[in-house]
Amino acid sequence: MASLAISIPRFDVRPRAIAFWLLAVAALVFAMVVVGGITRLTESGLSITRWDVMSGTLPPLSEAEWQRQFDLYRQSSQYKLMNAGMSLAAFKGIFFWEYVHRLLGRLIGLAFALPLAWFWIRRQIPEGYKPRLLVLFALGGLQGAIGWWMVASGLVDRTEVAPERLAVHLSNALIIMAGCIWTALNLIDGDAPRADRPRGWVLPVTLLLSVQIVWGAFTAGLRAGHASDTWPLMFGALVPDGLLNRAVDAIADPVSVQFIHRSLAYVVAAALVVTAVRLWQAGAGIRALALGGLVLVQFVLGVLVITNHVPIPLGVAHQGVAALLVAATVWAAHWSSRGRNSGRQA
């Protein structure tokens, strides 16, 4: 009796298709960072007080369900301490942004999981990339848990989420976005080490930018942008009086946090502009222009946010450009340190 052999068809690997998929995921993460900024600035993040992974996919579809959600919110500290007497119509306004933020998170999960399964089953993932894709997927799942951990911190005895948890939430989102972009660039441009391009800047500039973004999250979480509305002076001085006495509260005192964030901005801007000039001279082209241009735009936005009392459009733009600056840094860093050794410079 002839034996029946079941063979799994082998498909060609699809590095460019996977790269474009990862860039699309990175774009979705960027959109979520922007919506997250709107959610924070409109004080919407605590409007949904439950983490319903499946049932929370649909918004309230009846007045009774809206009332149930509103009753849950009225049990929160934010309502009791800040929004007592809020109408149901006003609640629907803040509910919208938190709902969109969570819906985007679910969409990103599906946008990553389903194509990953497709490429995996069809054996189209290049050798060595499966572990990296699984790590990115795991970070996405972790982001959902971090998001609820952050929201839970603001439901009892406070009117906002804990700044340190906000910083973790934003940082992990940007790590996911950066990881998707870096992996996509590996698949498109190659991942062989390059020794013929300036790369000594990559680690120090990345660390400096990371610290600034974390301090930006503390600035947002503490509403420290409202601490002073003048620039370049704070309360009429380059260094506010009594700042040293508040040094022990460098991540909790709004004045100290804003001072550190705006002082680091000078260092970050100078470092990235110098780096952009070096990269331009080395042939990095549009990557150098993106890096230098975005950091200057971000610096100006930061000043405008402070001097205009943190308006929502400027605040959202400031957070969005920060994410774009991370993307530009990843793009330039990859060009400096990885590529195809036999290929021409872009």
Residues in the chain: 346
Structure tokens at 113: 């999981």
Q: How far is CA 307 from CA 222, 231, 232, 311, 317, in A?
A: 17, 7, 10, 10, 15
Per-residue confidence of the chain (346 residues) as pLDDT tens digits? 444 444 455 567 789 999 999 999 999 999 999 999 999 999 999 999 988 877 678 899 999 999 999 999 999 999 999 999 999 999 999 999 999 999 999 999 999 999 999 999 999 999 999 999 999 999 999 999 999 999 999 888 888 899 999 999 999 999 999 999 999 999 999 999 998 999 999 999 999 999 999 999 999 999 999 999 999 999 899 888 877 666 566 778 899 999 999 999 999 999 999 999 999 999 999 999 999 999 999 999 999 999 999 999 999 999 999 999 999 999 999 999 998 875 444 4
**Dihedral (C-alpha) 90, 93, 95, 98: value to the nearest 10 degrees?**
-140
Q: What is the pTM of this model?
A: 0.92
3-state secondary structure the chain: CCCCCCCCCCCCCCHHHHHHHHHHHHHHHHHHHHHHHHHHHCCCCCCCCCCCCCHHHCCCCCHHHHHHHHHHHCCCHHHHHCCCCCCHHHHHHHHHHHHHHHHHHHHHHHHHHHHHHHHHHCCCCCCCCHHHHHHHHHHHHHHHHHHHHHHHCCCCCCCCCCHHHHHHHHHHHHHHHHHHHHHHHHHHHCCEECCCCCCCCHHHHHHHHHHHHHHHHHHHHCCHHHCCCCCCCECCECCCCCCHHHHHHCCCCHHHHHHHHHHHHHHHHHHHHHHHHHHHHHCCCHHHHHHHHHHHHHHHHHHHHHHCCCCHHHHHHHHHHHHHHHHHHHHHHHHHHEECCCCCCC
Res 243: pLDDT: 76
Structure tokens at 22: 């990862």
Res 3: pLDDT: 47
Res 340: pLDDT: 83
d(CA 306, CA 163): 19
Rounded CA Rg of the chain: 23
Cβ(37)–Cβ(315) below 8 Å = yes
- Considering only CA atoms, which of 181, 189, 253, 248 is closest in space to residue 215? 253
Res 9: pLDDT: 53
Domain boundaries, the chain: 12-189, 191-341
Res 10: pLDDT: 52
Res 87: pLDDT: 94
Instruction: Say how far residue 153 (Cα) sits from the centre of its chain.
Output: 20
